[in-house]
Structure 1
Amino acid sequence: MDLLVLGIVVLIYFLLVGYVGYVAWRRTETSEDYMVAGRRTHPYIMAMSYGATFISTAAIVGFGGMAGVFGMGILWLVFLNILVGIFIAFVFFGKRTMKMGHNMSALTFPEFLGRRFNSRFLQYFGGAIIFLGMPLYASVVLIGAARFIETTLGLDFSIALILMAVIVAVYVVLGGIRGVMYTDALQGTIMFLGMIFLVVSTYYLLGGVVDAHQALTNISHLIPAKARAIGATGWTSMPLYGSPYWWTLLSTIILGVGVGVLAQPQLIVRFMTVKSNRELNRGVLIGALFIFVMTWSAYVVGALSNVYFFRKMGMIAVQAAGGNADKIIPFFIKSAMPEWFSYIFMLTLLSAAMSTLSAQFHVQGTAIGRDVYETVRRRKGDRSVLITRGGIIIAVLIAVVLGYLLPGSIVAQGTALFFGICAASFLSVYVAAIFWKRATRQGAIAGMVSGAIVSLFWLLFEYKKTAEALGIAKALFGGPVIASMPWPVVDPILVGVPVSAIFMVAVSLLTEPPSDEHIQKCFNGV
């Protein structure tokens, strides 16, 4: 390893990030600048920030590793990422969110819901869910980056974890969302170029597109007996319908993220940083192209790594990675790619991690500063920026601690679980807020609270991966979960979202509708 070359590459990268963060800091003067970038963001910056925040090391390392385990069936997530995460999100949700956010002068997603339904409770309860739930997501993004640095550069995992957290914390605390979005655009561009080179090189290494995919089909007999017993059939075919393997792939990995993206606070707030629909329209193509290249490349490379490791080592990818799916992509890069590319790809993963972490830390800080502190104390003003910065520091510390405590192969699962929790808590309320004028404050509260409670209950007592690890169900009921198959492998999103929607609609219809004056104010020009 040429430490001089590595040092120069990393130094140039951080100088660029530092300069962009400095520019953002110079342009941040008010609370509105700190939280929604003054609502004047360029469409390229908004779209790249949205995409770079969406696609993190969790997508590249975590879900790329899951593709090494589950195979090409995970490509259905690419379809949902573009259809739901970009087209539906920008065209149907983004435009209404942008306009209504302007009408209500909302600076955060919980504040958006609170003002739409005229409820302080919705704002601080939503802020609390974000601040308490998002550390799981932030920690797995940290883990993904630290694992790559550990595997590729030989740096101790603990040092890599802390170094990443500190660097991101500095420019988020100082620059607010301007610092986040400006650096996101730079980092997203690096990610885009890095992933194109990776997927092209992988196909070249394996003899071309047709030969690579045929080779992957031909080694289906290497699927471990344990995986085959619960429904796995191969890397180029879907698992057996209704099997535990099928439920895990469909409900947790594909639907958990593919649908849960609509209720992600750190993404929704991006819609409130632009001035008009024109910026959102321009952002659709940019965002779609970025998401396609990033996700499709990661998943294809993850699945095809099985062919490479079989040819070179006589084993499948997860075996070559020591049983830890989170190490498949890093180990493949180290083993198959030239050394100089490891340096470049390290920047790709650093960019992916830093862009998502910065958004996560920022939204956690605004949740505690703007949505909880200001709302509970009923004080508005620039002091919330100080509290927000303190909240960001606390969020960073929690993410680092969880990075040490969480088990292996957790990156993709942790991401999907957080997306599911957000969907269960926020999705039905968010949809009603922007599309259903008859929705009431009581209905919104019932929908959010019921979704949060049901998803938490499911994680503690029924979803096997979390319930078994926590052991609460076993202590109380004598078994790892309460109900039998298929429920232990059904993701909380498939239970929490319907329950939340039913409560939202039923309670709204049973309570007095909001005043015409309030509705006119919220929906003016929508």
Structure 2
Amino acid sequence: MNTDLLYIMLAVYLGITVFLGYLGYRHTKSSKDYMIAGGNVHPVLMSLAYGSTFISTSAIVGFGGAAGVYGMSLLWLTVFNIFVGIFVAFVFFGVKTRQLAQELQVKTFPEFLGARFASPFIRKFSAAMICLTMPLYAAAVMIGGARYMEEALQMDYVTALTIFAVIVLAYVFFGGLRGVIYTDAMQGIIMFIGMAALVILTYSLLGGVTTAHLKLEALRNMVPQAMVAKGHMGFTAMPAFSSELWWFVISTLVLGVGIGVLAQPQLAVRFMTVSSAKGIYNGLGVGAVFILFMTGVAFTVGALSNVYFVEHGGKLALAATAAGGAAPNIDKIIPLFITLAMPEWLRYVFLFTLLSAAMSTLSGQFHIISTSISYDLNPQKGASDAQTLMLARIGTLLGFLLTLALALYLPAGIIAIATALFFGMCTAVFLPIYAAALYWPRITASGAMYSMITATVVYAGLVFFVHEKEAGIFGLCARLFGVNTLGVTPWTYIDPLVIALPVSAIVLIAASLLTQPAVKATVAEEL
């Protein structure tokens, strides 16, 4: 290992990160600066920050590893990410969100919903949901970065986890959203370079695009019979229609994450940072290309890693992670492939790619957790900017500690599942009322409240007691009833979102039609 090169690259990376965080600190003079970066961010910076916050180590390591098991069927998630996560999000949600946020004079996503429905309960319930569920997603992101450092640098996992978590904490703590936007944009550029280099070198290593895909297709006969029985049709094909694996790929990974991006509080806030609707439209192209390279490359390389592992060890990717008697770990497929197959310089570049992916997403997560705790759960009428900033920074610290604890507690192979779980919960709880807040004047505060509460109860109940993967991880069903799940097939493997989202929307519509229309607040102070 060329430690001199690594230390030089690390020093440059940290130096730039610290400098940009300092710029954010210098330009953070008010709560508006801390929470929405002053509302005057350049469209390109906003798009890069949106993309780098959206794409984390969960996508690259967790979902890239999932592609190593389920194949290129995950590329449908890339399609959804670009069409829904960029085009629909920017054009149909972003423009209206920015417009309404300025009209309501709000600075956070919970405050946005609360002001739209003139409901302190909705604001606090939304903030509480963020505080309780966001750390799960943040922990998955932390784990992804730490797993790569553990593999590539032969570093202790806990040490790796602590190092970059503390770095992220520092610049969010001091720089607020301005510091986050600046560093996210820089990290987005690093991520783009790293992923472009990875896909080029992967295809070169495996004999070119056509040859690599033919080799991957030929591995169909090596798929374990247990996976075939569940619907696996090879690494270049979709799982058998309506099979257990088909439902997992489509309902949990593609649908849950592909649509779930619309209801992500940390992404919705990004639309509040630009000065005009034109800025959001101008960011479309940058966002689409960025997402294509991030997810498309990760899923393609994850699937193709099987070719490399078979040619150099006779095992498929997941089995290769079990070398030395260790348990197979889907989260180690991408780190192991890069460590063994790529040149040393790319291993270092990809280290910073993953650090950038993790840090850019974590910074947005810690920021939204901090504002939810300090500003939305504890609204202080008449509080000075200095008091609001101090509370926000305390909230950042609390969110960091909870996330770190979860990252140390969660089991192996959890990244993709934890990410999909968070996205699914946010989609069921927030998406119906968020969309209705923008486009349906007849919606009522009562309808929104009933929808959110129902979605939370239904989704959580399915996760803890019906959906087999999550029920087995949490173990609550086993402790109470002595079985891993109370469900019956196919509901034990169909994602909870398939039930919770329609129920949430139906309750929203029915309750709104039966109650009085909400009175839209004109200023945030009404809360």
Partner of 1:400: 404
Q: CA deviation at 1:378?
A: 5.1
Rounded Cα–Cα distance in structure 2 between residues aligned with 1:512 and 1:12:
58
- 3-state SS in 2 of match to 1:292: helix
Gapped runs of 5+ residues in structure 2?
Answer: 323-327
Contact 1:66 1:325 in 2 (8 A): yes
Asked whether 1:472 is paired with 2:470, we answer no
Asked whether 1:21 is paired with 2:21, we answer yes
Alignment of 1:231-270 (within 5 A): 231-270=231-270
Rounded Cα–Cα distance in structure 2 between residues aligned with 1:139 and 1:166:
13
RMSD: 1.2
Partner of 1:84: 84
Q: Match of 2:413, as an amino acid?
A: S
Partner of 1:367: 372
Q: Match of 1:408, as an amino acid?
A: A
Q: For structure 1, which segment, 219-228 or 171-180, has the greater mean C-alpha deviation from structure 2 after superposition?
A: 219-228
Partner of 1:338: 343
Partner of 1:151: 151
Contact 1:424 1:492 in 2 (8 A): no
Contact 1:451 1:499 in 2 (8 A): yes
Partner of 2:427: 423
**1:33-78: per-residue Cα shift (whole Å, max 9, x none)?**
0000110000011000000000001111111000000000000000
Partner of 2:361: 356
- 3-state SS in 2 of match to 1:489: coil
- 3-state SS in 1 of match to 2:492: helix
Rounded Cα–Cα distance in structure 2 between residues aligned with 1:197 and 1:470:
38
**1:355-393: per-residue Cα shift (whole Å, max 9, x none)?**
00000000000010111011xx65644223212111111
**1:433-490: per-residue Cα shift (whole Å, max 9, x none)?**
0000110110111111111111111111111112122232234334221221011112
Q: For structure 1, which segment, 394-403 or 204-213, has the greater mean C-alpha deviation from structure 2 after superposition?
A: 394-403
Asked whether 1:59 is paired with 2:59, we answer yes
TM-score by length of 1: 0.97
Contact 1:78 1:295 in 2 (8 A): yes
**1:212-264: per-residue Cα shift (whole Å, max 9, x none)?**
00100001111112211211111011111111111111111111100000000
Rounded Cα–Cα distance in structure 2 between residues aligned with 1:91 and 1:186:
25
Partner of 2:198: 198
Rounded Cα–Cα distance in structure 2 between residues aligned with 1:470 and 1:362:
27
Q: Match of 1:345, as an amino acid?
A: F
Q: CA deviation at 1:508?
A: 0.5
> Identity of counterpart residues, as a percentage?
48
Partner of 1:443: 447
| 4+ long deviations beyond 6 Å | none
Contact 1:104 1:116 in 2 (8 A): yes
**1:307-332: per-residue Cα shift (whole Å, max 9, x none)?**
01100111001111121111111111
Contact 1:48 1:287 in 2 (8 A): yes
Asked whether 1:496 is paired with 2:500, we answer yes
Asked whether 1:409 is paired with 2:413, we answer yes
Q: CA deviation at 1:267?
A: 0.3
Partner of 1:329: 334
Asked whether 1:389 is paired with 2:393, we answer yes
Rounded Cα–Cα distance in structure 2 between residues aligned with 1:381 and 1:440:
32
TM-score by length of 2: 0.96
Aligned length: 517
Contact 2:118 2:518 in 1 (8 A): no
Contact 1:369 1:387 in 2 (8 A): yes
Contact 1:442 1:508 in 2 (8 A): yes
Contact 1:21 1:182 in 2 (8 A): yes
Q: For structure 1, which segment, 152-161 or 447-456, has the greater mean C-alpha deviation from structure 2 after superposition?
A: 447-456
Rounded Cα–Cα distance in structure 2 between residues aligned with 1:144 and 1:356:
12
Asked whether 1:281 is paired with 2:278, we answer no
Gapped runs of 5+ residues in structure 1?
Answer: none
Rounded Cα–Cα distance in structure 2 between residues aligned with 1:310 and 1:293:
26
Partner of 1:168: 168
**1:91-117: per-residue Cα shift (whole Å, max 9, x none)?**
000000000000001100010000000
Rounded Cα–Cα distance in structure 1 between residues aligned with 2:339 and 2:349:
12
Rounded Cα–Cα distance in structure 2 between residues aligned with 1:177 and 1:193:
24
**1:168-191: per-residue Cα shift (whole Å, max 9, x none)?**
000000000001111000000000
Rounded Cα–Cα distance in structure 2 between residues aligned with 1:381 and 1:513:
34
Asked whether 1:134 is paired with 2:134, we answer yes
Asked whether 1:461 is paired with 2:465, we answer yes
Contact 1:194 1:344 in 2 (8 A): yes
Q: Match of 1:192, as an amino acid?
A: F
Q: For structure 1, which segment, 12-21 or 478-487, has the greater mean C-alpha deviation from structure 2 after superposition?
A: 478-487
- 3-state SS in 2 of match to 1:403: helix
Rounded Cα–Cα distance in structure 1 between residues aligned with 2:479 and 2:154:
41
Rounded Cα–Cα distance in structure 1 between residues aligned with 2:337 and 2:473:
29
- 3-state SS in 2 of match to 1:334: helix
Contact 2:467 2:487 in 1 (8 A): no
Rounded Cα–Cα distance in structure 1 between residues aligned with 2:448 and 2:179:
33
Q: Match of 2:37, as an amino acid?
A: A
Q: Match of 1:342, as an amino acid?
A: R
Asked whether 1:209 is paired with 2:209, we answer yes
Contact 2:36 2:269 in 1 (8 A): yes
Asked whether 1:178 is paired with 2:183, we answer no
Rounded Cα–Cα distance in structure 2 between residues aligned with 1:476 and 1:159:
36
Correspondent of 1:484 among 470, 485, 488: 488
- 3-state SS in 1 of match to 2:273: coil
Contact 1:373 1:384 in 2 (8 A): no
Rounded Cα–Cα distance in structure 2 between residues aligned with 1:305 and 1:60:
13
Contact 2:37 2:178 in 1 (8 A): yes
Q: Match of 2:459, as an amino acid?
A: S
Partner of 2:325: none
